[in-house]
Amino acid sequence: MHDSLFASAPAGAITDVPGIEAGHFTDTRRPTGCSVVIAREGAVAGVDVRGAAPGTRETDLLAPGNLVNEVHAIVLAGGSAWGLDAATGAVRWLEEHGVGLDVGVARLPLVPAAVLFDLPVGDARIRPDAAAGYAACAAAATGQPLAEGNVGAGAGAVVGKMFGLQHAMKGGIGTACVRVAGVTVGALVACNAVGDVVDPETGRPLAGARTAAGDALRGTRRALLRGEPPHPLLAGSNTTIGVIATDARLTKVQAQRLAVSGHDGLARSINPVHTMSDGDTLFALATGRADQHPGMMVLATMAAEAVAHATVRAVRAARSLQLPGGLSLPACTDLRRAG
């Protein structure tokens, strides 16, 4: 079975967007971590939450009708709600480096965040904290190429849990960018979906729920439609979170619409997506560095494409994981795909 043209397309990175830095912290004590996307000079921001079980911080301030227009970083983290503490460390790092909203007596960094549930992967008592968020910012400042796969917020990510964790596969974090008419749109996506990650060009599963024998993909959509019952799922135990960034100049309303459009990319690359057990959340950042503006129709198309690319990269870059107790999470490259 040959790969689609989509699968071999250049990936790029969210850091290709002028004004954007990104970095990871990966906890070596168990597979978990956090990732940060930084806009030191501030970026107009928006957010769209589609999953029914989100874990977020500071998303209300991004509503178009609310006062604050720009933020300075976005944090993505494992550790479920505990992982939101990573944003506190990012705030501290940014303040130390003079980044933030000038409120007269200080510079106040504004850092929204979203988390995914990776607690079953290793010791749940180990999760990203403020020190982890601080370290991710320090890593971003080095300017090193952005790693993908089993790092940062994707370190403990798992996909394809519809029929139980024992049939799932390793998820991860991926990045991509798209350029059109002098404007760049990039995405960073940590994929911990309950559904399968699929090739957007063919709809064929790349990673997800495996068959009972464990050596091939089951194809979650087809399995559900032929009547196979899903495994009981804990609400919020699955989530895909990410950041879209562009150098186009956007209003706050337009940034929110860009985040909305990014979910089209998730819908093309994850099936099923936006379920009652997922907390799917996408942020959008606009640095305004580009002189050109191709229009919102083109930007929305670019955002969906970048998100879909980044989601596929998240599983293609992932590597297998063997956990204590015998649980094995193979990677995309380990299995033949369902037809």
**Which of the 8 DSSP states describes residue 80?**
G
Which residues does residue 24 pair with via DSSP β-bridges, in sequence order?
Answer: 35
Nearest CA to 237 out of 95, 116, 105, 83 is that of 116
Q: Which residues are catalytic?
A: 239
| Cβ–Cβ < 8 Å for 157, 280 | no
Long-range pairs, 273-276, Cβ under 8 A, ≥24:
273/50, 273/193, 273/195, 273/240, 274/50, 274/51, 274/52, 275/51, 275/52, 275/194, 275/195, 275/238, 276/52, 276/53, 276/235
Nearest CA to 153 out of 79, 88, 49 is that of 79
Return all residues near 145 (Cβ < 8 A) that are at least 6 apart.
Answer: 13
Structure-block tokens of residue 214: 């464990």
Q: How many residues are listed for the chain in this entry?
A: 339
- The answer to whether the peptide bond before residue 54 is cis (omega within 30 degrees of 0) is no
- Cα-trace Rg, the chain: 18
| Cβ–Cβ < 8 Å for 307, 242 | yes
